[in-house]
Structure 1
Amino acid sequence: MNILCVAAHPDDTELLCAGTLARYVREGHRVTIAIFTDGSIGDAVVKPDILSATREKEARAAAEILGADLIWTGVTDELVFPDKEQRHLMIDVLRRADPDVIFTHSPNDYHPDHRYVSQLVFDSYFQKGLPHMPGQSLPACRFAGAQLYYMDNIGGINFLPTEYVDITDVFETKKAMLACHKSQFVAMEDLASIDMNWMIQMQAGFRGLAAGCRYAEGFTRLDASQRGLTRRVLP
């Protein structure tokens, strides 16, 4: 299968579903990670142009650990909007990956970039398969059938998973991918007094407690027409 994670920022994938992606890779599936923004605004000291280059390099290093393809869309951090221009970008992201399974942010996430990326994925779902959509750079892919899963919110706030993936055996891979995002470890400590290793261990441990394993990632499936809902596709 073709597996696609569409994340708003570099490191969102690692925080919220890298373990699940590692499980897919181990089972022989093709994984693509799409980063919608350049991550350039998330530091109180480093200038945006320098930070953007750093974060792209970090994201590519993390993807290489999995052997995943990386799509770097380059929208300015903090300026995601569900407008026409960004809809065209998202349609081409989906067309390039031609996914069987899509992961993206929950509509009730805490960050506007996360919420709007989620909306753009939802809004672009069918248009990826319409061959006469104007303004697209890539040809249409399959029209429907892909299952869409929303990733957990940071801290699990107001998010009730409906499906879990046991990531106990691949948790070290998740940590190694997150460790590539060195600039974010500094920024999160400075801006929010958060240790990201502690954060993923606590959240994966809590979801694991619910799922009956050491570490887990939680998701909710979008139950809607033409999403291929007759079988579980999570590893």
Structure 2
Amino acid sequence: MQEKRLLVVGAHSADFVWRSAGVVARIIKDGGRAKVVALSYGERGESGELWKVAGQTEENVKSIRHAEAAAAAAHLGAEFEAFDLGDYPLNVGDDDVARLAELMRDFQPTIVVTHPEIDPFNPDHPVAYTTVAKARLMTSGAGVESGFKTAPPSEFLVFEPHQPELCGFLPTVFVDITDVFEQKKAAMAEMKAQQYLQSYYRERAEHRGNHARKVTGNKAIRQAEAFMRLVPNVVASL
């Protein structure tokens, strides 16, 4: 059986924690690997608490955010890497797309997860989606053999945004994270610059757990995370 390799790419360093920490922990617990990439630290637009400290600097905020995200990833058993491209706005150039594509070729992910394509309240999230979609196509040679190193086509999903109805998000996959939920909570607790989101995403996991129970009839499911597939999954039989 092929080893599962999950790559999660967020616009900011905390995005993976709120929206996919459970599935990261789930895959690693089942014997797979997971790597998290943050295109920026969210140092300008998502670190309000840190900027309340007198004499705060952007470089210090980045350092704190890096330490928080690395600690969160460690709770899950994942690798963490930051591109440090700046936020609000997140500006991604061709070299940055090439860098992500090269990372994909090296890591060979079987599953790639990022933000949805639409977000009317956050300018950085759609940029992250476009970056990942382009890098993924470059990595697979746009579906054909090519003259550069490639990786096999991966599953491609987006994680649940903060306001799903306004982002064109329709959940097509629920992942049961009940037995790794404590790890997700520990990861969320590391993101001290955004403590206000911890209760929201604990409640969201409970809501999606309820939906997953309705779908499956499995009363043991207490918490879940929601994702939307962007390409079909292929199975031998229904």
Shift of 1:223: 1.9
- Aligned equivalent of 1:124, options 129, 135, 155: 135
| Cα distance change on mapping 1:149 and 1:52 into 2, 3 Å | same
Correspondences of 1:38-187 after superposition (within 5 Å): 38-41=41-44, 42-44=46-48, 45=51, 46-109=56-119, 110-130=121-141, 140-142=149-151, 144-158=152-166, 159-185=169-195
Q: Is the 8 A contact 1:8 1:35 kept in 2?
A: yes
Unaligned runs of at least 5 residues, structure 2: 214-220
Counterpart residue type for residue 20 of structure 2: C
Query: Is 2:201 the counterpart of 1:200?
Result: yes
- Aligned equivalent of 1:216, options 205, 221, 224: 224
Q: Is the 8 A contact 2:73 2:187 kept in 1?
A: yes
* TM-score after normalising by structure 1: 0.83
User: What percentage of residue pairs aligned between the two structures are identical?
Assistant: 28
Shift of 1:97: 2.2
Q: Secondary structure at the match of 2:87?
A: coil
Greater C-alpha Rg: 2
Q: Is the 8 A contact 1:155 1:203 kept in 2?
A: no
Q: Distance in 2 between matches of 1:22 and 1:231?
A: 24
Counterpart residue type for residue 209 of structure 1: N
Shift of 1:26: 0.8
Shift of 1:197: 2.0
Q: Is the 8 A contact 2:85 2:91 kept in 1?
A: no
The one-character-per-residue Cα deviations of 1:186-224 (angstroms, maximum 9, x if unpaired) are xxxxxxxxx222111221122122111321110111126
Q: Is the 8 A contact 2:11 2:40 kept in 1?
A: yes
Correspondences of 1:13-52 after superposition (within 5 Å): 13-41=16-44, 42-44=46-48, 45=51, 46-52=56-62
Q: Is the 8 A contact 1:4 1:32 kept in 2?
A: yes
Q: Distance in 2 between matches of 1:231 and 1:184?
A: 40
Residue matched to 1:188 = none
Unaligned runs of at least 5 residues, structure 1: 134-139, 186-194
Q: Distance in 2 between matches of 1:83 and 1:170?
A: 36
- Matched residue pairs, number? 212
Residue matched to 1:230 = 234
Counterpart residue type for residue 148 of structure 1: F
The one-character-per-residue Cα deviations of 1:141-184 (angstroms, maximum 9, x if unpaired) are 41x42000100011433322011001122111101011111122
Q: Secondary structure at the match of 1:37?
A: coil
Counterpart residue type for residue 78 of structure 1: Y
Shift of 1:82: 5.0
Q: Distance in 1 between matches of 2:6 and 2:41?
A: 22
